[in-house]
Amino acid sequence: MNDREPLTFLMTQAAEYQEQANLVARGSEPDKNDWRKYFGFSTDHKVIGIQYLVTTFIFYLMGGVLATLVRTELATPASDFVSREVYNSLFTVHATVMIFLWIVPAGTGGFGNYLIPLMIGARDMAFPRLNAIAFWIIPPAGILLMSSFFVGAPGSGWTSYPPLSLMNGKAGELIWILSVLLLGTSSILAAVNFIVTIFKMRIPGMGLNQMPLFCWAMLATSFLALVATPVLAGAMILLSFDLIVGTNFFNPTGGGDPIVYQHMFWFYSHPAVYIMILPVFGMISEIVSVHSRKPIFGYKAIAYSSVAICGLGLIVWAHHMFTSGTPPWLRMFFMITSMIIAVPTGIKVFSWLATIWGGKLRLESPLLFAMGFISLFVIGGISGVMVASVPWDIHVHDTYFIVAHLHYVLFGGSVFGLYAAFYHWFPKMTGRMLNETWGKIHFALSYVGFNLAFMPMHKLGIEGMNRRIAEYDPKFAALNLLCTIGAYLLAVSTLPFLVNVCWSWVYGEKASDNPWRGLTLEWMTTSPPPVENFDADPVLATGPYDYGMGSRATEVNVAFSDASDPVLSAGPSSTLRAKPDPAVAASPSDRVGESHNR
């Protein structure tokens, strides 16, 4: 077939096997990394991914400052730190920043961009320019939003319900609408790009069921973003007409209906919570499997549950409106669909647990954050089922119980997951390892701080503390003080991470291509990868999660003549497959299941 010698090697480990098979594809060491490209209009998905991550992290810090101010006001029952108007702006902008400028763009734009092409063996995204445009919408939109503090920031909550949003300061509200519209546009552009990339640019031999689970998650996420975001845009545009031109779409004084806005808003914003968590689900699947040294348990169940969540996620929105005069049959319908969504979510959690079970855990920062994620997300899932129950939600809707629920899923869930991903992929992105000790300190501080800040809120809400208030009944003072202390601890916990990243990026220990011995294709090239990722098309010698499948000596003859030949990649006819097939474990007692993804 070619002039190269067929390579014979001793297969000891799945990771080495995969690496050997991809020696040809491995990118050459990039020549000097020019930092200036990160500040320009680059079309390289890796540059864009890092641009997203750094930008969104800066917004995260701003959002964090706002949160700290909110908690400072709430340290005491009286409204004594900022004025009530400013207080409302603080939490409004805090939530908007955290959702639209941090979690959504960091999970999809940041990690999605960086990882998807690498994981499917592509050289870049399908539409590199579109990709860059989607990113460059974000900084101006974010600056626009933050600048609203100069003209009177929006103060009607991130939900911005009319008529209140039509009656507060016009300038701030308009800025809010504009920046949400911009960020929504960016999100739509990115979604189109991910869908096309994942469908069209996988290496030959990588069927949908051979994709890493993160790709499944991004597919589901992008589909949600594509279907739901235009509805939000519609709501924003109508709201802006009411605001500027004085139309009456949502304004009851002119015969409009404020509830229609709520439907449109939540038609997007419920799926949005899945846009924020699905990519993280995907990354946790990767991380848990690599660091437990075990195949992911139930690949198909995890992959298809993302699709199920995507479908169900579109028909549960009115569970945010159980007290909005929603008719009984609708309440019941949305209660049942919301409850059902807990089932695919549960499947994922149990599959991760089963993956960890019996593994050989490398208990370092990525896995610590991933396990922290599971433990906190479960609490948010349990409170999620509780609030899906109409009679209970009628009690706790719009209280601190909801604040607790949403932070357990969004902070304990999405943010812990994003941190796990930072620790896991930082070596690939920068070619340097993060410091492990500081990683552990970061984890301990965040875990304790988080629970201190948000656990007591469950009780506060149940006992009668409503949300979005600058002053509260003194009987809630003790627990609120505890929450504030937790919030300060949480703020401090960011520092070790920041220092660690800044220091390690420059001086950190050099990372090898595959420091965690992973099997997915991003580890099969240099760290950091060169501009076009691979020198030849990578091949799938093993499935993405076939850990432990090669731990015996098997001689394989491999010819690397034509890397793009499907015969050399995955699939039953692949010459790269070990004989006997590693899907059948060496000793009968280990032969528990078939590899689902090869």
Partner 1 sequence: MNIPSQITTLLAGIALTLVSFWYGQNHDLLPISASVESIRVDSLFNLMMTIGTGIFLLVMGILVYSAFKFRREPGDESDGPPVHGNIPLEILWTAIPAIMVLGISIYSFDIYNENGGADPMDHSMAHGKAHQQMASMPGSAMAGTLVAQADPNQQKAEVVNSDPTTAAIREDLPQKKDAPTLGVVSPKIGGAEPGAPEFVVNVAGMQYAWLFTYPGTDVVTGELHVPINQKVLVNITANDVIHAFWVPQFRLKQDAIPGRQTEVRFTPNRLGEYPLVCAELCGAYHGAMNTKVVVESAEDVQKWLQSQQVASAEGLSKAVATTPANMTETEYLAPYAKEVGISADTLKQLHSEHHSMS
Among residue numbers 38 through 57, which ones bind ligand HEM (CB under 6 A)? Answer: none
**Rounded to an integer, what distance in angstroms lies between the CA atom of residue 570 and that of residue 566?**
7
CB of 45 to partner 1, least distance (A): 30
Residue 587 CB neighbours (<10 A): 7
Among residue numbers 382 through 411, which ones bind partner 1 (CB under 8 A)? Answer: 382-383, 385-386, 389-392, 394-395, 397-399
Contacts with partner 1, 550-569, as mask; x by CB under 8 A: -x------------------
Phi-psi domain of 173 (left: phi exceeds 0; alpha: psi -120 through 50; beta: other): alpha
**Three-state secondary structure of 111-122:** HHHHHHHHHCCC
Taking CB within 5 to 8 Å according to partner kind, which of partner 1, ligand HEM, Cu ion, none is near residue 402? ligand HEM
Member of 14, 367, 387, 558 binding ligand HEM (CB under 6 A): 387
Tokens standing for residue 391: 């009679």
Q: Does 161 bind partner 1 (CB under 8 A)?
A: yes
Q: Does 276 bind ligand HEM (CB under 6 A)?
A: yes
Show Cβ contacts of residue 413 under 8 Å, excluding neighbours closer than 6 positions: 277, 280, 373, 376, 377, 380
Q: Does 82 bind partner 1 (CB under 8 A)?
A: no
Stretch that binds ligand HEM, among 21-29, 338-346, 416-424, 490-498 (CB under 6 A): 338-346
Q: Does 385 bind ligand HEM (CB under 6 A)?
A: yes
Member of 341, 390, 470, 490 binding ligand HEM (CB under 6 A): 341
Q: Pick the closer one to partner 1 by CB: 333 or 505.
A: 333
Taking CB within 5 to 8 Å according to partner kind, which of Cu ion, ligand HEM, partner 1, none is near residue 472? partner 1
Contacts with partner 1, 489-528, as mask; x by CB under 8 A: ----------------------------x-----------
Q: Pick the closer one to Cu ion by CB: 270 or 467.
A: 270
Stretch that binds partner 1, among 116-124, 175-183, 508-516, 589-597 (CB under 8 A): 589-597
Q: Does 429 bind ligand HEM (CB under 6 A)?
A: no
What are the Cα distances from residue 298, in Å, to 61, 211, 362, 456? 37, 14, 21, 35
**Rounded to an integer, what distance in angstroms lies between the CA atom of residue 20 and that of residue 519?**
11
Q: What are phi and psi of 558, to 5 degrees?
A: -125, 125
Q: Are strands 7-10 and 555-558 parallel, antiparallel or unpaired?
A: antiparallel
Single-letter amino acid code for the residue at 303: A
Q: Does 97 bind ligand HEM (CB under 6 A)?
A: no
Stretch that binds partner 1, among 143-151, 160-168, 429-437, 553-561 (CB under 8 A): 160-168
Member of 93, 175, 378, 409 binding partner 1 (CB under 8 A): 378
Chain center to CA of 552? 37
Among residue numbers 457 through 496, which ones bind partner 1 (CB under 8 A)? Answer: 458-459, 462-464, 466-473
Q: Are 310 and 277 in contact (CB under 8 A)?
A: no
Q: Pick the closer one to Cu ion by CB: 184 or 431.
A: 184
Taking CB within 5 to 8 Å according to partner kind, which of Cu ion, ligand HEM, partner 1, none is near residue 406? ligand HEM
Between helix 258-292 and helix 416-430 the angle, nearest 10°, is 50
Q: Pick the closer one to partner 1 by CB: 132 or 371.
A: 371
Q: Does 410 bind ligand HEM (CB under 6 A)?
A: yes
**Rounded to an integer, what distance in angstroms lies between the CA atom of residue 409 and that of residue 388?**
14
| CA Rg value for the chain | 25
Q: Pick the closer one to ligand HEM by CB: 206 or 402.
A: 402
**Rounded to an integer, what distance in angstroms lies between the CA atom of residue 376 and that of residue 416?**
9
Q: Does 257 bind partner 1 (CB under 8 A)?
A: yes
- Dihedral of alpha carbons 422, 428, 430, 431, sign: positive
Show Cβ contacts of residue 162 under 8 Å, excluding neighbours closer than 6 positions: 239, 242, 250, 251, 256, 258, 261
What are the Cα distances from residue 358, in Å, to 289, 292, 302? 12, 8, 19
Q: Pick the closer one to ligand HEM by CB: 182 or 409.
A: 409
Stretch that binds Cu ion, among 157-165, 252-260, 262-270, 471-479 (CB under 5 A): 262-270
Taking CB within 5 to 8 Å according to partner kind, which of partner 1, Cu ion, ligand HEM, none is near residue 336? partner 1
Q: Does 535 bind partner 1 (CB under 8 A)?
A: no
**Rounded to an integer, what distance in angstroms lies between the CA atom of residue 166 and that of residue 179?**
17
Taking CB within 5 to 8 Å according to partner kind, which of partner 1, ligand HEM, Cu ion, none is near residue 403? none
**Rounded to an integer, what distance in angstroms lies between the CA atom of residue 79 and that of residue 472?**
8
Chain center to CA of 89? 26
Between helix 365-388 and helix 416-430 the angle, nearest 10°, is 150
Show Cβ contacts of residue 587 under 8 Å, excluding neighbours closer than 6 positions: none
**Rounded to an integer, what distance in angstroms lies between the CA atom of residue 383 and that of residue 401?**
8
Chain center to CA of 412? 12
Stretch that binds ligand HEM, among 168-176, 247-255, 385-393, 432-440 (CB under 6 A): 385-393
Q: Pick the closer one to partner 1 by CB: 342 or 485.
A: 342
Q: Pick the closest to residue 284 from 380, 439, 378, 424 (CA basis).
A: 424
Member of 71, 291, 319, 458 binding ligand HEM (CB under 6 A): 319
Q: Does 284 bind ligand HEM (CB under 6 A)?
A: no
Q: Pick the closer one to Cu ion by CB: 270 or 397.
A: 270
Contacts with ligand HEM, 159-188, as mask; x by CB under 6 A: x-----------------------------
- Which pairs with CB-CB distance under 8 Å and at least 24 residues apart come from 30-34? 30/526, 30/528, 30/529, 30/530, 30/531, 33/528
Among residue numbers 264 through 283, which ones bind Cu ion (CB under 5 A)? Answer: 270
Q: Pick the closer one to partner 1 by CB: 127 or 161.
A: 161
CB of 360 to partner 1, least distance (A): 4
Q: How many residues at the interface with partner 1, by CB under 8 A?
A: 108
CB of 405 to partner 1, least distance (A): 12
Give the binding site for Cu ion (CB under 5 A). 270
Residues near ligand HEM (CB under 6 A) are 159, 273, 276-277, 319-320, 338, 341-342, 345, 381, 384-385, 387-388, 393, 397, 402, 405-406, 409-410, 413-414
